[in-house]
Structure 1
């Protein structure tokens, strides 16, 4: 009743959160000045509304400036 040699499981490694270069914050906490207006616009007007498209692009530009790879 031999049990095969088992290898000890490696402890799970904590996930490293990517943080912005300037602020050191995670992506969800960066650029609050562009995030809130973008979110409100999308909720009330829809993602395809021209005003919202401008706000979305401004938020993406802010995140890129923080060092995030945003498409």
Structure 2
């Protein structure tokens, strides 16, 4: 049956981080580690409603603004 001592799966955002990624000018963090609040809200919305939903589009823009505030060049 199942092994209860197995490690939980690695969250996707941790697998995306690599040492070769650009660091934020203001925070010194990798882009995958910046703006966790807006990232979480954006991801939850996209999973529930889809990327084209108007509320999700607003959350996507808020996350981009946060990343720009950290010094990333996000289009």
Name the TM-score class by shorter chain.
0.7 to 0.9
1:33 counterpart residue number: 37
Do residues 49 (structure 1) and 53 (structure 2) align? yes
Gaps of 5+ in 2: 1-18
TM-score by length of 2: 0.71
TM-score, normalised by the number of residues in structure 1: 0.75
Bigger Rg, structure 1 or 2:
1
Q: CA RMSD in A?
A: 1.2
Q: Compare 57-66 and 16-25 and name the one that shifted more.
A: 16-25
Shift of 1:17: 2.7
2:32 and 2:20 map into 1 onto residues whose CA distance is 15
TM-fit CA distance, 1:30: 0.3
Q: Which runs of 5+ in 1 are unaligned?
A: 1-14
Equivalent pairs, count: 57
Structure 1 outlier segments of 4+, above 6 Å: none
